[in-house]
Amino acid sequence: MSLELFNKWQQQNLPEYLADELSAIVSDQKAIEDRFYQYVAFGTGGMRGLLGAGTNRMNIYTIRRVAEGLARYVASNGKMAKERGVAIAYDTRHFSYEFAVETARVLASHGIKSYIYKESRPTPQLSFTVRELNAFAGVVITASHNPKQYNGFKVYGEDGAQLVPAAANAIIEHMNQIDDIFAIDVQDVKAIDQNGLLHWILEDFDEKFMRNLLTLKENDAIDYNMKLVYTPLHGTGLVPVVEGLKQFGFKEVHLVEEQSVQDGAFPTLSYPNPEEVAAFAMAIELGKQVGADLLLATDPDADRLGVAVRNGNQYELLTGNQLGALLLHYILSMKQQNGTLPNNGAILKTIVTSKLGTAIATHFGVETINTLTGFKYIAEKIAQFETENSHSYLFGYEESYGYLIETFVRDKDAVQVALKVAEMASYYATEGQTLLDALEDLYKQFGYYKEALISKTFEGKDGQDQMKAILNSFRENTPHSVAGIEVVRVEDYLTGIATLQNGSTEQIILPKENVLKFILQDGSWIAIRPSGTEPKCKFYFGVVKDSKDESNQAIESLIAAIVK
């Protein structure tokens, strides 16, 4: 089948760069298999893959296929859905603009309006725009924090949240009915611009987004002269983060100029991921030059934020769990201090996020609700709170550097959080503390929580099979103990059943997903799941002990016992 598809592609009038790629692999059966054994998978809210020629690559033809699936889904919801249209944004990656326009061309062939940003803008701003326009759906062309060889297509529902499984499955069903991607109808850009199916947007929505961002400011007792360094890592955070910090009142914001050039080649770094210390190299260098107390970095589509704090002459990068705990404690403290902490408050976090957040929330009388991994599940709960009037949403986060404070956005939002972290750090500065000091206070009060994530990469078709085998092996040979500590509970999110040590079972009231979680007798835990957006199997670990040294030793023992 792969060879048949390869031959079909070669017979098309492809753009030269795609035709050259195929010509280069004509004698390489393994390369042909990898490019054509499947279509890029539509996973967590959309699809993401390597750029290039073939069905298992991101290119104008696979974009047309997913856009056609989306178009048929929108059209199936009636005339009003087509009128409300689709909002489209894109990051700074190679082909992002071209893929955004290609999407609008396909939508127009079904009579569906598109609202496209004239310039690259963050994913959270797209979420906001869907809600502001009352659009029926949204699309952002991005591969988030992946390397430069990748791009992607994320789809949002009318609430501005990533698609829930039912809607995603409907789009997949439409995509599977497409017999020939080369026969998909695309409209001429000039024609759809003239006939009212294409609307270019920018300044009005920048201003509206900024007005909402400024509502985050709730503390004037801060040091506006604190020195900050910010890097957008060549991505979309540049405009809203810099302007937001300025309008918040910060006077000493230093920009990493080399990384403020919006460039999909990411020329100053190999991996534009603010979770990685290497991504902060230039920010650290500038921080030392200007004496900055705080370094901020957003990934290319500005939905994830990394933070580094000065510690003597060095800078220490906070983990996603640590920053989440600090933000949670600060937000709840401010609300308690201002008398605005509601009686029915709730926070949302994922099942692989630190339990420190739960301990903090409980201290403030706030309920913690766990969701599956993926911010779409947090957004889904927010919508449920609003519909049922059951809880007041206070904060949502996941360990992978994703946070949401205010709900005018329904996805993780690094722009919101960059502004709030600056406010928080500046507040602690007036108290004579750094964020590291504040974090140590949390550990002393609630226990020394420590987490770790080990990712193993499995590329291609063989890699998918290997990941399935890993999960199946753990299911078939469930450990009774790990590192000498008894397993007291096994949670299998694929079956929706939790099995206790005595053999009794409980239902897990969450959607089914291929995740295993082991709870140990001392409160430690391990979770295993394949990534929904990358060819990786992820192993999560969490412990809590009475001291930093004990927690470090405990987590190392767990990792050594599980990851071979």
Annotated catalytic sites, by residue? 144
Place of tokens 């000091």: 437
Q: What residues are paired with 544 via a beta bridge?
A: 449
Place of tokens 């999110």: 493
What's the alpha-carbon Rg for the chain, to the nearest Å?
A: 24
> What token pair was written down for 233?
């890592």
- What does the alpha-carbon distance between residue 343 and residue 147 come to, in Å, rounded to a whole number? 44
Side-chain half-sphere exposure of 204, counting CA atoms within 13 A: 8
Q: What residues are paired with 255 via a beta bridge?
A: 230
In sequence order, what are the residues at sequence separation of 6 or more whose Cβ sits closer than 8 angstroms to the Cβ of residue 549?
none
Strands 305-311 and 314-317: antiparallel
Instruction: For 89-142, give the DSSP string.
Output: EE-SSTTHHHHHHHHHHHHHTTT--EEEESS---HHHHHHHHHHHT-SEEEEE-
Q: What does each C-alpha distance from 206 to 120, 122, 123, 262 come to in angstroms?
A: 11, 11, 13, 18
State the DSSP code for 336.
Answer: H
- What does the alpha-carbon distance between residue 277 and residue 308 come to, in Å, rounded to a whole number? 9
- What does the alpha-carbon distance between residue 88 and residue 137 come to, in Å, rounded to a whole number? 9
State the DSSP code for 237.
Answer: T
Strands 86-90 and 114-117: parallel
**Residue among 140, 207, 128 nearest 407 (CA):** 128
> What token pair was written down for 275?
């979770």
Phi, psi values for residue 336, rounded to 5°: -65, -45
Q: What does each C-alpha distance from 420 to 179, 218, 251, 300, 328 come to in angstroms?
A: 49, 9, 16, 19, 11
Q: What is the 3-state secondary structure (H, E, C) of 254-276?
A: EECHHHHCCCCCCCCCCCCCCCC
Q: Which helix (H) or strand (E) holds 77?
A: none
Distance from the Cα of residue 392 to its chain's centroid: 23
Phi, psi values for residue 267, rounded to 5°: -65, -20
Q: What residues are paired with 372 via a beta bridge?
A: none
Q: Answer whether 139's CB lies under 8 Å from 121's CB.
A: no
**Other residues' Cβ atoms within 10 Å of the Cβ of residue 386:** 14
Distance from the Cα of residue 46 to its chain's centroid: 12
In sequence order, what are the residues at sequence separation of 6 or more whose Cβ sits closer than 8 angstroms to the Cβ of residue 423?
216, 217, 218, 219, 222, 248
